[in-house]
Structure 1
Amino acid sequence: MAVFHGSKVKLFSLSSNKQLAEDIANYIGIPLTKCEILRFADGEINVNIPETVRGHKVFVIQSTNAPVNENIMELLIMIDALKRASAREVNVVMPYYGYSRQDRKAKARQPISAKLIADLLQTAGATRVVSMDLHAGQIQGFFNIPIDNFKALPIIGRYFREKELEDICVVSPDHGGAARARDLGDLLRAPIAIIDKFRPEPNVAAVKNIIGKVRGKNCIIIDDMIDTAGSISAASIALKEAGAKKIYVCCTHPLFSNDAVKKLDAAPIEEVICTNTIQLEKEKIIPKIVQLSIADLLGQGIINIIDDQGVSTLFR
């Protein structure tokens, strides 16, 4: 049994990002508690927790990236097991929140899947959720339990400040990300530009115009996630054609689906800076990709939650 600052605490890692969980545990100074994730012959998931969790503050670390549905079911079953084992608190540390892009009805008869995930987590027995850079801030309103939306901006901003780039322009790949670009621009004391794009079909992007001055600038494209890299590749090509010097890309969540890494490697991009909310397979780690760790940030956040302290100071 681990006692931390007077509280009984246990940390668990599920399947999606074990390295991040290890790094968080090392920062806090509490070892990960073992749990067995089993599969029946038909694919059903079962969980076995060898140690007692009665009366403990429990933290379960699990991103819900691909395979999204497998990781979500694994998490829900784990929460249910902990609830039934009389855990005092079940805190879900979900660095990447799957289904977060389905946060509203874009058409008449579409689901709001981000709300459904929130309902499932609460019904299963979660008492708190900790996530990183939710795709839309209103997702926090889908919960009736505390949810902390941690920001990767200080980590990414620190990386670029240490590079000491000159003539910077921060670029949003679409209108919806303008506020995110403005935040990084304010941090780096740089102007922003916006890519005016449209989507003829899902995961396909076409650039119509660039709003802002990018000629002769070192451009930093910022987004919350990169999925197929179609938008980012198109944006980098458009910026280069508009006279930009070097082009950097940064995001919090490197989904890198399908041939995204090949697109990024072929695009006129110097570096792709991302965080380790998602554990990348070895074949997706090319020299152009720089992955920054969020382990210390989440670790300190967990410590603050255990001590009933605020977490907002961690984002300054």
Structure 2
Amino acid sequence: MLFFALNGSDDLGRKIAAAGGFQVALHEEREFDGGEHKTRPLTSVRGKDVYVLHSLNGTSDASANDKLCRLLFFIATCKENGAARVTAVVPYLAYSRKDRQTKARDPVTTKYVAALFEAAGTDMIITLDAHTVIAYQNAYRCQSIHVDPNRLFAESLVAAMNSERYAVLSPDAGGIKRAQLFQETLETSAGRDIAFAMMEKRRSGGVVSGSLFAGDVDGRTVYVVDDMIVGGETVKRAARTCLENGARDVHVVATHALFGANGAENPVGDDIGRLFVTDSIEMPDHVAAALGSRLQIVSVAPLLGAVINRSHSSAYAS
């Protein structure tokens, strides 16, 4: 087996390799005048089971488009040079938010990205907490593996729980199933009942609206659960609503921290206590410094290392 981590995902790659007990294989990325580039493995991939890691979040150094292009080219290069199988390990999968048409002539970018991976020769794709699991699973004709971090988050939360009452809240209708599954995992891990709540959110032209709220959060510690946090407005709005309905305090659990290098210094506002995120995306230093002890980063490296090992073992068992 060979495991590569492209530039920008190399920190996470080293953690995954250490947790999984394998090495990060060497590769080269070169820039050319005019913005073109090339990426190639520096060891033979012929006949090998190859895994390529890259999280496709945009940064000040590389856009989501650039990262996607580099990943696709590297996968195609490995196939061109005789790799037996190539798996894309994409903790954050870009363009997953547009998975259906909600307005006339809307793109369905989830489907288009899947076609690009398949055209490059990808045999399997592994992602973490897809925006819409059904859309992700239905978009790919190659094998698609979905990894959820619920147990990792639950273990972190349970360690800090006390005799208080707790609730899990979905900040919008589209995230209800995600929040319900997390609630069930948290109940199992904690060995106690956890209440459930949800609220309405509509977004049109960049304006968020919706006032419906359902669930009992009065006197409870609430965990707002989402797959990603970008500008923070969704979770801030959810926190205000919970506090208005009597919540004792509010924390946020979000898998992907899409703050970017120029994001707000305090993306969760003052109504939110702790922010639990994974290291699927590298946290900008200024955000980490501003959040201080409120920020709790849960590493997905052991989880992804185990998934890669199981995938390789099952495919190449003697």
Normalised by the length of structure 1, the TM-score is: 0.91
Q: 2:244 aligns with which of 238, 241, 244?
A: 241
Shift of 1:48: 2.7
Q: In the alignment, which residue of structure 2 is the partner of 1:303?
A: 309
Shift of 1:16: 2.8
Distance (Å, rounded) in 2 between the aligned partners of 1:79 and 1:68: 17
Q: Which of 55, 58, 80 is the aligned partner of 2:76?
A: 80
Structure 2 counterparts to residues 162-311 of structure 1, below 5 A: 162-165=159-162, 166-187=164-185, 188=187, 189-202=193-206, 204-257=207-260, 259-264=263-268, 266-285=269-288, 286-287=291-292, 288-308=294-314
Work out whether residues 265 and 286 of structure 2, in 8 Å CA contact, stay in contact via their aligned partners in 1.
no
In structure 1, what is the Cα distance between the partners aligned to 2:137 and 2:97?
Answer: 13
Q: 1-side partners of 2:297 and 2:267: how far apart?
A: 18
Q: Which amino acid aligns with 2:259?
A: F
Q: AA paired with 2:287?
A: K
After TM superposition, the structure 1 = structure 2 runs for residues 29-178 of structure 1, keeping only pairs within 5 Å, are: 29-66=21-58, 67-137=63-133, 138-165=135-162, 166-178=164-176
- Partners of 2:129 and 2:119 lie apart in 1 by 23
| Aligned residue in 2 for 1:3 | none
CA contact (8 A) 2:277 2:296 kept: yes
Equivalents in 1 of 2:165, 2:26: separation in Å? Answer: 50
Kindly provide the CA deviation profile for residues 70-117 of structure 1, in whole angstroms up to 9, marking residues without a partner as x. 110110110111111111111110001100001011112011101111
**Secondary structure of 2:267's partner?**
helix
Per-residue deviation, residues 40-64 of structure 1 (Å, max 9, x unmatched): 1111121132211100000000011
Q: Which moved more, 1:299-308 or 1:174-183?
A: 174-183
Task: Sort the Cα spacing of 1:228 and 1:163 in 2 relative to 1 into closer, same or farther, 3 A.
Answer: same
Gaps of 5+ in 1: 1-8, 310-316
Report sequence identity in percent. Answer: 28
Q: For residues 235-288 of structure 1, what are the alpha-carbon distances to aligned partners after superposition, in whole Å with 9 as ceiling and x for unaligned?
A: 111211221111110011111255444231x33111000111111121121212
- The runs of at least 4 aligned residues of structure 1 exceeding 6 Å deviation read none
Structure 1 position 199, deviation (Å): 2.1
Kept after mapping to 2: 8 A contact 1:63/1:278: yes
Count residues in correspondence.
Answer: 299
Query: Could you tell me the TM-score, scaled by structure 2's length?
Result: 0.90
Counterparts of 2:125 and 2:204, CA distance in 1: 35
Q: CA deviation at 1:200?
A: 4.1
RMSD: 1.4
